[in-house]
Structure formats: C-alpha cells, structure tokens
Amino acid sequence: MAYNKASEERKWRYWKEQEEKKLRELGMDEEKIRKLRQMDWEDFLEERRYRERLEETMQEIDTGNPEDGEPFAMDVRELLDHVGDRRLYEVLKDTEHQTLEILLLSTWGYSIKEIANIMGLPKDTVYTKRKILRKKLKKF
C-alpha cells in the first residue's frame, strides 16, 4: 500500500493535539510546547521523505528500471554494499540469500517468469519470496 501523505498528517496532528493537551494540563510552558511541536514536525517531515523515497525505490525494483539504466549491482554482496540506510541494511543482511538474488535479478529488469527460469524455482515461490521481503521492508 502506498504512503498516504494526507492520512499520515491527520494522524500526526491528532496525536500532537492530544499530547499538547496533556502537557498543558501538566503545566508545561507554551513556548516549550511550541518548540516541541516544531521539532516533532521536522521529524515527521523527515520520516515522510524517507517513506516516499522507500516507496519510489520499491517501485523501481519492481519494474526493474533503475534510474540511470545501468545495473544497480552485479552481485548480492555489491547490492548490500550500496545500501546507505543502516536499518535497511540490517533487514537485508538478515534476509535469505535466495531472496536477495531475486531482488538483484529484479533490479536487472528480469520478469518474475524469467527469474523463476534462471533460478529453477516455481513462479509462485518467486512471488512469495518477494512478498515476504516487501512485508519486512514495510514494517521497518
């Protein structure tokens, strides 16, 4: 499911209003509440940019069309070396090697059917392994 900016912003605003209400009840200074709101808003925007970028990356992997037309990586080790986000690296590092090979072949532009033929796997297995990886990535 795609990242819904408006929905996430509504959730954030509701959460923030509830938090600020509690802080006022506890007697916190309005200036501190304003500063906290600003800091939380900046964190929210950073997270939103990250999620949008992750969504774009996942779509790119699914379509097999890297931006520059060149292969992203030549093997699984190089694929992991290209990961800049530490959390993403940890998720991928703990992923089954066969799934990473499927991911790599997807980045090269191979279809599910082609990947299944190359790896000697049923198409359903390739679909399932990609689906499991997607779920892992969405959780983090």
pLDDT band at 71 (very low <50, low <70, confident <90, very high): low
CA-nearest of 103, 109, 94 to 130 is 103
Give the pLDDT of residue 64: 53
pTM given for the model: 0.48
Q: Could you please report the per-residue DSSP string of 1-59? A: ----HHHHHHHHHHHHHHHHHHHHHTT--HHHHHHHHHHHHHHHHHHHHHHHHHHHHHH
When pLDDT is cut at 50, 70 and 90, the band that residue 32 belongs to is very high
For tokens 């990242």, the residue is: 3
